[in-house]
Homo-oligomer: A and B are copies of this chain.
C-alpha cells in the first residue's frame, strides 16, 4: 500500500497505526463494528485520514443491507452515520465527512437500492480523491521554497499516516525529496505522544527519505551549529491574520528559526483557516491528561502523584512564519490581506 488507506476491488484496507513503529500491518475493514473500532482505538488517526476512512465506512456499513426499499436504506444510512459519529466525539473531520455523505444521500432523488449504495461509495471516493489532490497541490506549491541539499526540520506527524495522500508538511518534504538531491530531514520526536519518532520517522524511512530523529530539545543546538536550512510543520487551525495553532512544541521551533534566520513554513489546506478568528489569543488550547506527560509507552517516568501540565497544542504568531503553503498557493505576509485574497471568498 502506498498510503495509509486503500480502496480497491470493493475492499477497504488501512494501516493499523497502533502497531507502529514496531510492526507494519494492513487490516481489512469488513464490518461497521470493525470500522468504528478502528477509529475509536486510533488504528486510524490523523484528522483528514479519519474523515476519508469514515466516509468509506458508511458504505461498509450498508453494502450488505438486504432491502428493496430505498427509504429503508436511507434510514439505515442515517443510523450508520449517527453510529460512526460516536467513535471519536471531538474529531471535526469525522463529522464533516459523515455529514457530507448524509447530505449527498439526502439531496439525491435516487430510488434504486444499488444506485444509492453506489452513490455513497462514489462520495467516499470523491472525498478520498479530493484529499489526495490537496496533498499533491501543497507539495507542488511548497516545493518551490526548497532547494537541493536542504536539511529540513519537522515536528509531529503530517504525512501519509495523517491524510489520504502524502500529507501536508510531509507532502512538501516528499516532493522535495523526489525533485532534489540530498534532502535530509530531522524529525522532532514530539513528546508526549511521540508522533515524530513513532510515525514520521517510520514514514520517511519507508519512502527511503534520509531522516534523523532528535529529541525536541535538540533542534536549537543543531541550528546553532548551522545544521538546519528550513523548518516546515502542519497546522490545526490558522487565524485570519496568519497565526497558527499546532502541536505543542511548534512555537518553540518557530522562535528558534526566527532567532537563527531560518525560514519557518506552515503547510495546511484552506479548510484549516478559521477566518472568524482574528488572532491566536482567541484560540482555545486543549489541555490533556497529565498521564501522557508522566509516562511513555506505559512506563512511568515521574514520581507517583507528580503534577504535570499537558497542553496538546500551542500557538505561533504570524510574525514568526515565513510563508503558509496551501493547495491554492503559497501565502506570504502581510497575511491579513493575502489570506483574505487567497482563502476568503
Interface residues of A (CB under 8 A from B): 20-22, 186, 188-192, 194, 197-198, 201-202, 205, 210-222, 224, 248-249, 251-252, 255-256, 258-259, 290, 293-294, 296-311, 314-315
> What is the CB-to-nearest-CB distance from A231 to chain B, in angstroms, rounded to a whole number?
13
* A221 and B311 contacting across the interface, CB-CB below 8 Å: yes
- Known contacts A201-B302, A296-B296, A297-B301; A220 and B314 CB within 8 A of each other: yes
Among B224, B258, B290, B299, contact of A251 (Cβ-Cβ < 8 Å) = B224
Among B215, B299, B304, contact of A297 (Cβ-Cβ < 8 Å) = B299
* A217 and B302 contacting across the interface, CB-CB below 8 Å: no
Majority DSSP secondary structure for residues of A touching B: mixed
Q: How many copies does the complex hold?
A: 2
* B248 and A293 contacting across the interface, CB-CB below 8 Å: no
Contacts of A201 in B (CB 8 A): 302-303, 306
The chain B residue with its CB closest to the CB of A258 is B259
* B212 and A188 contacting across the interface, CB-CB below 8 Å: no
A168 to B35, CA, bound (A): 55
- Known contacts A296-B296, A298-B299; A217 and B190 CB within 8 A of each other: yes
* A213 and B302 contacting across the interface, CB-CB below 8 Å: yes
* B256 and A252 contacting across the interface, CB-CB below 8 Å: yes
A309 to B190, CA, bound (A): 15
- Known contacts A252-B256, A302-B197; A188 and B217 CB within 8 A of each other: yes
- Known contacts A191-B189, A296-B301, A303-B21; A217 and B217 CB within 8 A of each other: yes
A245 to B21, CA, bound (A): 34
Among B212, B224, B302, contact of A309 (Cβ-Cβ < 8 Å) = B212
* A217 and B191 contacting across the interface, CB-CB below 8 Å: yes
> What is the CB-to-nearest-CB distance from A245 to chain B, in angstroms, rounded to a whole number?
11
Contacts of A307 in B (CB 8 A): 210-213
* B305 and A205 contacting across the interface, CB-CB below 8 Å: yes
